[in-house]
Structure 1
């Protein structure tokens, strides 16, 4: 029997579209959690700075990605001083870059 390889662990149990979104949310949650850790903030401090409840920070740190929309995660990145930009060189190709803003 040949081994089957998957793009992400999510692709094992979900369709490709759902799995790709889940993988993106996991990557965003890791980035946000690491930024909070880098700043040395408690969950309460992070929640205050991001304008959300402490329980949402707990959900984020515990990888409960199903509780978040990608839009909400981009809002958190905005509050942390990052900006997401999408480029679309063709109708069939696009990429998203997340970088620290000048003001941060």
Structure 2
């Protein structure tokens, strides 16, 4: 049996469309969680800044990505002072979209 390589762990267990969305949400959750830690915010402080409950921040930091939409995560990035840009691959490739997250202003 040959070794198989996948774009993400999700691609090993889900169809391509579902896997790509899950991989994107995981990347966004990791980025947001890491930035909250960089700012030194407690979950309650992060919740106030993001306009969500502390339990939502807890769900985000524990990787419960199925509870979030990509839109909700984009809103969180906006509230943290970031802007995102998507670069979609061509139709003939199976590559994942490239996401560029840039800081719009100092927080």
The verdict on a shared fold, with TM-score over 0.5 as the criterion, is: yes
Matched, 1:36 2:36: yes
- Measure, in 2, the Cα distance between the counterparts of 1:11 and 1:28: 17
The answer to whether the aligner puts 1:96 opposite 2:99 as a matched pair is yes
More strand by share: 1
State the aligned residue count: 103
The Cα RMSD (Å) is 2.0
Q: Offset at 1:73?
A: 0.2
Flag structure 1 segments of 5+ consecutive residues without an equivalent.
none
TM, length-normalised to structure 2: 0.86
Any gaps of 5 or more consecutive residues in structure 2? none
| Shift >4 Å, 4+ stretches | 90-95
Offset of residue 85 of structure 1:
2.4
What secondary structure does 2:4 align onto? coil
- In the alignment, does 2:24 pair up with 1:21? no
| Cα distance, 1:87 vs structure 2 | 5.1
